[in-house]
């Protein structure tokens, strides 16, 4: 029997819609969900005689993203026309950057577990305008909405350093966190703010001989799930095709495929165009962009601590688990609020539990950020200290947090109003413990026997004390009193 091994080779092209109020080369508003073709003008629909003007904010957002991706930033870059015809591109060309992108030779790190990260190299990042959108839901014909035509896009191209659908998904998630932290994009998948196009082929070793399968590019994936599953499907499809036909990179053409989300398969669309098919030439209506030292430094000052770095710091500095640290750093507002609470003197792990288990749930229910719940960092820090010092139980702390969000009241005041302050007076609790012990001689006997029933019996006695105090007794104090009396 022949032996065969293979590995997946994946490079990603990512399109990120930038967070600007107007389009890349005209003043039309960038607004999602508006009436079709209501956000267009002669410039973005390519009427004769119009002149584009570059959106400065879009350029600065792109440079900022390039800096965050550790890229070399070009001090001089120009614009190019990329010519092709589709119904959603009325000019018959797209203004893009071809041979002089604004950012090159960078990298992004993705978490791979155990506190480790894998570095994925970035070939380039360039700025361009988006096309419109073809709609196929009206019947036996297509419609075109040009509201999106001309929207600023940052295209990021990686080296083929990814080796699975899971790694591609991890990179996509990390990039979404980065652009949101920087404020350069909302990164909302449902609104098409990020779209992924993986290029996939296999390195196969069969009976000691090495082969490469033809590259397939999957177009316009707009979810992490679709990205991961399409790569996993394509891995098996290409392996089966190689075993059946022997197709290899040297003899096969690069193809473009679509993802059928219902059937979870890729579908052949066409053979892929090469760069010469687009007939690139310098855009005659736009001047090149020269980035001065002063301008670059002003942009660089907007860099912040990036999410993966912050996540790893939370593990090292605060002793949080990787999962909890990842949840806290998923959104910059959540992470900043956590930092503010800890800065007020709150214990980090308990703060993390309160925010991730209660705060994020409330924020999801109210469809807002955790910083918009109506609670202050100082108030949450005080609540954490109350739980730490045993003034209220952890469960009571969660109830108080919810009421703080609704009323804005101080946690100490709410604890009094809601009758949630724990009884920690040893003298008062000792009398209740004595009563419980006197009323439950069998449980006392089991607890002091040292047998299998001992732990269960102690728990029963503790539960009786908590029941008698309506849950307001401090369990730690009660446990200490019980231990002393039973021993």
Q: How far apart are CA 247 and CA 256, in angstroms?
A: 16
Dihedral of alpha carbons 364, 366, 372, 374, sign: negative
Residues 454-470 have pLDDT tens digits of 777 767 766 776 676 66
Question: How far, in Å, CA of 377 to CA of 342, rounded?
Answer: 8
Residue-level pLDDT at 245: 85
Provide the β-strand partners of residue 95: 81
CA dist 285 and 308 (Å) reads 41
Whole-angstrom distance, CA of residue 151 vs CA of residue 149: 6
Tell me which residue of 158, 131, 165, 136 sits closest to 146, measured CA to CA: 131
The Cα 469–Cα 473 span in angstroms is 6
Residue 244 has pLDDT above 60, yes or no: yes
Average pLDDT, the chain: 88
pLDDT for position 433: 65
pLDDT of residue 273: 60
C-alpha distances (whole Å) from 269 to each of 52, 256, 478 are 33, 6, 71
The yes-or-no verdict on residue 357 having pLDDT over 70 is yes
Contact 411, 383 (CB under 8 A): yes
Reported residue count of the chain is 487
* pLDDT greater than 60 at residue 170: yes
- Residues 40 and 207: their CA atoms lie apart, in Å, by 59
**Placement of tokens 């098919």 in the chain:** 277
Please check the confidence at residue 387 and state whether its pLDDT lies above 70.
yes
The residue to which tokens 């609020």 are assigned: 337
- Give the angle 183-188-194 at the CA atoms, nearest 5°: 90
Higher per-residue pLDDT: 433 or 147 = 147
User: What's the pLDDT at 126?
Assistant: 97
The whole-angstrom separation of Cα 128 and Cα 126 is 7
Give the pLDDT band of residue 272 (cuts 50, 70, 90).
low
The percentage of residues in the chain with a pLDDT greater than 90, rounded to a whole number, is: 61
Nearest alpha carbon to residue 169 among 333, 14, 334, 7: 14
Residue 356 per-residue DSSP state: I
Q: What pLDDT is attached to residue 342?
A: 96
Average pLDDT, stretch 12-16?
97
Is 297 a residue whose pLDDT tops 80? yes
Q: For residue range 69-81, what is the model confidence (pLDDT) as tens digits?
A: 999 999 999 999 9
User: Closest by alpha carbon to 330, among 224, 233, 235, 407?
Assistant: 224
What percent of the residues of the chain are helix, what percent strand, and what percent coil, each to the nearest 5?
Answer: 40, 20, 35
- The strand pair at 80-83 and 281-282 is best described as antiparallel
Is the pLDDT assigned to residue 269 strictly greater than 90? no
Q: What angle do CA 217, 63, 256 make, to 5 degrees?
A: 10
CA distance 168 to 286: 35
Per-residue pLDDT averaged across 360-377, rounded? 91
Instruction: Select 426-486's CATH number: 1.10.10.410, 3.40.50.2300, 1.20.1530.20, 3.40.50.200.
Output: 1.10.10.410
How does DSSP assign 270-307, residue by residue?
EEPPPGGGGT-EE-TTS--EE--HHHHHHHHTT----H
The pair of structure tokens assigned to 49 is: 């005689």
> CA 296, CA 302: separation in Å to the nearest integer?
10
Domain coordinates of the chain in residue numbers?
4-282, 307-417, 426-486
Residues 271 and 296: their CA atoms lie apart, in Å, by 40
What does the pLDDT read at residue 422?
A: 63
Which of 27-41, 61-75, 155-169, 237-251 shows the lowest per-residue confidence on average (mean pLDDT)?
237-251
């Amino acid at each position: 029997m022949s032996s065969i091994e293979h590995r997946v080779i994946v490079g990603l092209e990512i399109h990120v819609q930038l967070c600007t109020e107007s389009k890349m080369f005209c003043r039309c508003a960038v607004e999602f969900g508006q009436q079709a073709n209501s956000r267009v003008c002669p410039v973005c629909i390519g009427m004769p005689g119009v002149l584009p003007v570059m959106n400065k904010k879009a350029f600065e957002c792109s440079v900022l993203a390039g800096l965050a991706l550790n890229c070399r930033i070009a001090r001089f870059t120009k614009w190019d026309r990329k010519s092709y015809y589709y119904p959603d591109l009325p000019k018959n060309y797209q203004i893009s950057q071809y041979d002089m992108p604004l950012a090159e030779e960078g990298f992004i790190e993705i978490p791979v577990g155990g506190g480790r990260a894998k570095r994925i190299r970035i070939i380039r990042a360039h700025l361009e305008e988006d096309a419109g959108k073809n709609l196929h839901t009206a019947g036996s014909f297509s419609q075109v909405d040009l509201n999106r035509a001309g929207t600023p896009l940052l295209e990021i191209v990686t080296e083929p350093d990814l080796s699975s659908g899971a790694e591609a998904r991890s990179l996509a998630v990390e990039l979404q966190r980065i652009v949101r932290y920087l404020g350069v994009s909302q990164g909302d998948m449902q609104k098409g703010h990020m779209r992924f196009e993986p290029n996939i082929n296999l390195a196969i070793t069969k009976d000691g001989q090495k082969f490469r399968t033809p590259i397939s590019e999957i177009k316009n994936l707009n979810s992490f799930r679709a990205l991961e599953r399409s790569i996993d499907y394509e891995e098996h499809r290409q392996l089966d095709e190689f075993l059946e036909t022997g197709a290899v990179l040297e003899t096969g053409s690069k193809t473009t495929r679509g993802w059928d989300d219902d059937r979870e398969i890729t579908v052949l669309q066409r053979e892929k165009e090469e760069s010469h098919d687009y007939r690139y030439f310098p855009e005659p209506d736009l001047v090149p962009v020269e980035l001065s030292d002063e301008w670059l430094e002003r942009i660089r000052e907007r860099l912040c601590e990036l999410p993966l770095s912050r996540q790893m710091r939370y593990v090292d500095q605060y002793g949080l688990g990787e999962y909890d640290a990842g949840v806290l750093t998923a959104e910059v507002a959540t992470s900043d609020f956590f930092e503010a609470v800890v800065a007020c003197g709150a214990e980090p792990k308990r703060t993390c539990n309160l925010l991730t288990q209660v705060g994020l749930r409330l924020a999801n229910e109210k469809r807002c950020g955790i910083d918009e719940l109506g609670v202050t960092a100082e108030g949450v820090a005080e609540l954490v200290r109350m739980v730490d010092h045993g003034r209220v139980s952890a469960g009571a702390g969660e109830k108080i947090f919810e009421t703080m969000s609704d009323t804005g009241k101080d946690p100490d005041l709410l604890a009094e109003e809601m009758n949630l302050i724990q009884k920690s007076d040893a003298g008062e609790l000792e009398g209740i413990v004595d009563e419980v012990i006197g009323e439950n001689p069998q449980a006392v006997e089991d607890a002091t026997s040292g047998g299998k029933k001992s732990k269960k019996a102690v728990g029963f006695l503790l539960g009786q004390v908590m029941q008698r105090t309506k849950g307001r007794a401090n369990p730690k104090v009660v446990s200490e009193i019980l231990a002393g009396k039973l021993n």
